[in-house]
Chain A
Amino acid sequence: MTAASTNATAKRGMRLDSDKVLAAACVAIPLIGLTLFFLYPMATVFLRSITTADGSYGFANYTEVLASKGFWRATQNSMAMGVATTIVSVFLGFIIAHGLHRCAFRGKWMIRGVIVLPLLAPSLVQALGLIFLLGRNGLVSRAIGTEVDIYGFWGLLIANTLYALPQAVMIIGASLVLLDARTYEAAEVMGAKPSRQFRDLTLPAIFFALLNSAFVVFIITITDFGNAAVIGGDYSVLATEIYTQVIGLRNFNMGAVVGIMLLLPTVISYVIERQSMKRQQGRHATNVQRFVPSFYAKRDIPMAAACFAVVAMILAVIGVVIYASFVKLWPYNQSLTFKHFDITLAGGYDSLWITIAISLGAAAGGTFLIFLMALGLRRLSGGISQMVQVLAAMPAAVPGIVLGLAYILTFNSTSTPLYLLYGTAALIGIINFYHYHTQAFLTVMTGFRQFPMALEEAATTLGAGLGRTAVNVIAPFVAPMLVAVFFFLFMRSMVTLSAVVFLTTAKLDVAAVTIMRLDDAGLTSQAAAFSTCVMAVVCLALGGMKLAIILMTWAPQTSKEG
């Protein structure tokens, strides 16, 4: 053996080692993050829930909470609200998804565009809009001359439905897209009428999607805080109950108990949802022939009418907020003005700028960490990788308000150096990232799964180490996915309220909380103006993302020609 080849062998051995170390580090760093900022706070909130007033452990808090009338009423209300919203949202979501994918009519782009609007605004915007429309001084109330009492069950039901509807439409729509046109043609040739095809083919195929969307909507509803805080009125739900216990009564242990109670249904729903997702995925081949509906008046005219009615409602609720932010004196003087954009609350627009900074940080840091994690997972053995994936997918089961509570219990305690983070913008960025960790993680993993192993192996055979492969080969391939995740994290951080509501201080506010405070202070028009600004930022970001993705998918082709 010559000296040169010995040298090469030695080098290869080292390369292998350094790759392993790098892969381990890729997983270890995000894993430490998950432990510190997810597992540890969740353990803390659980411990606090079983810490009694005298400092010993026991279930006294639970018996106390279970004995309190307020808790039972909030639970009952939450469940009633959850069930009602689920029924309405899944029904409407099905109509819209079916209209989009299985019916033929014009203007679908409008439905697609409007249906996602509620996701681009803080959840309390729906509530604000409803108040502008149906509240005491609402447009509709004044037009028909009777006073509707919008605060309470019905208002909250409508607001929650509008908020949950996009998710329902997306989940049901995704399953409708997967139905192969050929099975319908086969049924047609065999003599099945459209109604029969619907019953025998469509319904069984989307059953799991309906179930799945029901769970998702249910979780969103019982954990949402913004709508309940603004339009719930006396109708207390678990999310507002936690807020009252912690912020109003400074009763942290009781808050922790309610938080753990709220965790139960969401964890159960989440587990069932994941299971049904797995079944759904296993069943489908990739080679799907898209169904192209042709016009059928009896079906399409009523469906189009229903879809546009719902869309009009969403547009009205969000549009009225934007409109109201320009109106001089709602509802008496409808002349237009910019004066509400002059925020009088202490701090003014500071919170908007800080929120943008926090969101950019959460998005950049989060995307990077998740990329590292997905990269490392590719090189890890099955067992460990499985465990990490389960852990990474867990945060979605935790309601934002519970995570927020867990953070304040963890980081507001001087017993660990983590206390240094308390009251900083960094912590808000961190909680936003871990709050939406699951969705971001799953998106990137999907991208990685599509990346052909052969390409990676080719790079390795050519002598590229993990680091080089990641930068030169993998990153460009998953780039569109990373951009999507970046903007997802950015947009959610811009509008989320429930997770951060506990972490803001007199000196540090975020946009959604400012809107809530403005509304609380009776400055409804300024709340609307502030909401308009937030929506504008988010829409710009969305436009930026679309542009970035278009440029990315388009650039390689043009550069090849040049």
Chain B
Amino acid sequence: MYLTVKNVTKRYGTFTALDDVSISIEQGEFVCLLGPSGCGKTTLLRLIAGLTDIDEGQVLLEDEVLSDVPARNRGFGIVFQSYSLFPSMTVAENIGYGLKIRNVPAAQINARVAELLEIVKLPHLANKFPGQLSGGQQQRIALARAIAVDPRVLLLDEPLSALDAKVRSSLRDEIRQLQRTLQIPTLMVTHDQEEALALADKIICMNHGVVVQAGTPEDLYYRPATRFVADFMGVSNLIPTEMVRREMPALLSQRPDAPDAQFDACIRPEKIQINADPRGSATIRSAGFLGNLTRYKLDSVFGEMMVEVHGPQRLTEGQKVSLQISPSDCTWVVNDSYEVPQ
């Protein structure tokens, strides 16, 4: 455990923004904090940075308790969504600022700044002011500024969300590569599940101020713990237990022993096989072309279903098909709206 957040609670007045949250980050790990707007991601990041006070619980770096260490002495690096470069300093001065504060000799600062500008591929911008840069350039500089001081932890709060799609994906890859080379433990906030899947070693999925599930991208995608996670991590077919028992009882083999309403079956669309079959129980309602795969919408005994198949469209609308699902591809997820009887 490199960075640990232990049972942290944060309240704003009567509103609980974080409720008993515990997370951890390993040495060199890239962790994504994922969740819908307002779920407390930024709040958690700011608590770790020391920019907001904690009500209960603690933040530990290895064995050191950080609660009483002010933000400026934690030695972290942070990148915000936008507008955080110092407007009155040039790009080079921005990047070198952390080193200047640490009283590093000017020659050394210049060398480091030049090196970082190479790394973020913007050496020609050294003497420009932030106002003269594009959004993507500003975020690259903000990143360079954050890593200039070899931070113990790198914190990124939706650094890509203000950028357009193309810049976003190229910068996303660069961040990932940079983090791999430098091995800085990194926590990145995002509400974009694709971004999280592409980048993270570990994803922490939050909702309403609590951690719902933490694990590898594969875990969260194929083995979501709750309906909320399943939904949030992409398209899924969620089917109530009694329907499964009636139509495909084989799938029940993995089901935890619990009341019907507590768990639903979750099957990812690419895990369902469909074959043209005049006596099949499902009908193709529509088909959508997604490049290398085709997404079918079916009317089936389970209601409307989503199925993804590699390659071009082979089945036509109105055609009857049969469904094949292997029990190992059916995950049982907690129904978030289910209340455990007292």
Residues of A at the B interface (CB closer than 8 Å) are 180, 182-183, 185-193, 196, 200-201, 204-205, 282-285, 287-289
Contacts and interface: CB of A to CB of B under 8 A. Distances in A.
Given A196-B101, A283-B131, A189 B86 contact: no
A180 B83 contact: yes
B82 interface: yes
Nearest to B74: A189
A196 B70 CA distance: 15
Contacts of B84: 180, 182-183, 185-186
- Interface on chain B toward A: helix, strand, loop, or mixed SS? loop
Contacts of A193: 72
A182 B87 CA distance: 12
Interface in B233-249: none
14 contacts: A180-B84, A186-B78, A186-B80, A187-B86, A187-B97, A188-B70, A189-B71, A189-B77, A190-B97, A191-B149, A192-B97, A200-B97, A283-B87, A287-B83
Given A180-B83, A182-B80, A190 B149 contact: yes
Contacts of B78: 185-186, 189
Given A200-B97, A204-B88, A189 B72 contact: yes
B87 A191 contact: no
Nearest to A179: B87
Contacts of B98: 190-191
Contacts of A189: 49-51, 71-72, 74, 76-78, 155
Contacts of B73: 191
Contact of B88 (A182, A190, A205, A289): A205
A205 B87 contact: yes
B13 to A, nearest CB: 14
Nearest to A203: B88
B86 A201 contact: yes
Contact of B75 (A180, A183, A191, A287): A191
Contacts of A200: 86, 89, 97
B145 interface: yes
A188 B88 CA distance: 17
Given A183-B86, A183-B87, A283-B87, A191 B72 contact: yes
Contacts of A288: 83
Contact of B85 (A183, A205, A283): A183
Q: Give the size range of B's interface with the partner.
A: 20 to 34
Given A182-B80, A200-B97, A188 B87 contact: no
Nearest to B49: A189
A338 B85 CA distance: 61
B83 A285 contact: yes
B102 interface: yes
- Interface on chain A toward B: helix, strand, loop, or mixed SS? helix
Q: Which 9 A-B pairs have the closest CB atoms?
A: A204-B88, A190-B98, A182-B84, A189-B78, A186-B84, A191-B72, A188-B71, A191-B101, A182-B80
Nearest to B87: A283
A211 to B, nearest CB: 14
A233 to B, nearest CB: 45
A196 B102 CA distance: 12
Contacts of A183: 83-87
A196 to B, nearest CB: 7
A182 B50 CA distance: 14
B12 to A, nearest CB: 12
Contacts of A285: 83
A443 B115 CA distance: 48
A240 B77 CA distance: 60
A204 B129 CA distance: 13
Q: Which of B73, B84, B145, B149 is the most central at the interface, judged by chain A CB atoms within 10 Å of its CB?
A: B84
Nearest to B148: A190
Contact of B102 (A180, A185, A186, A191): A191
Given A183-B85, A185-B84, A189-B49, 9 more contacts: A182-B80, A183-B87, A185-B51, A187-B97, A188-B72, A200-B97, A205-B87, A282-B131, A285-B83
Contacts of A283: 87, 131
A189 B70 CA distance: 9
Interface in B154-195: 155
Interface in B50-94: 50-51, 70-78, 80, 82-89
A201 B88 contact: yes
A30 to B, nearest CB: 35
A194 to B, nearest CB: 9
A204 B90 CA distance: 12
Contacts of A204: 88-89
Interface string B122-155: 0000000001000000000010011001000001
Contacts of B142: 186
Q: Which of A185, A186, A190, A288 is the most central at the interface, judged by chain B CB atoms within 10 Å of its CB?
A: A190
A383 B71 CA distance: 53
Nearest to B102: A191
A285 B84 CA distance: 12
A125 to B, nearest CB: 40
Contacts of A282: 131
A204 B51 CA distance: 24
Contacts of B102: 191
Contacts of B89: 200, 204
Contacts of B49: 185, 189
B83 A190 contact: no
Q: Which of B87, B142, B155 is the most central at the interface, judged by chain A CB atoms within 10 Å of its CB?
A: B87
Nearest to A182: B84
Contacts of A287: 82-83
A194 B142 CA distance: 21
B83 A182 contact: yes
B157 to A, nearest CB: 9
B160 to A, nearest CB: 16
A141 to B, nearest CB: 47
B51 A188 contact: yes
A364 B35 CA distance: 55
Interface string B86-113: 1111000000011001100000000000
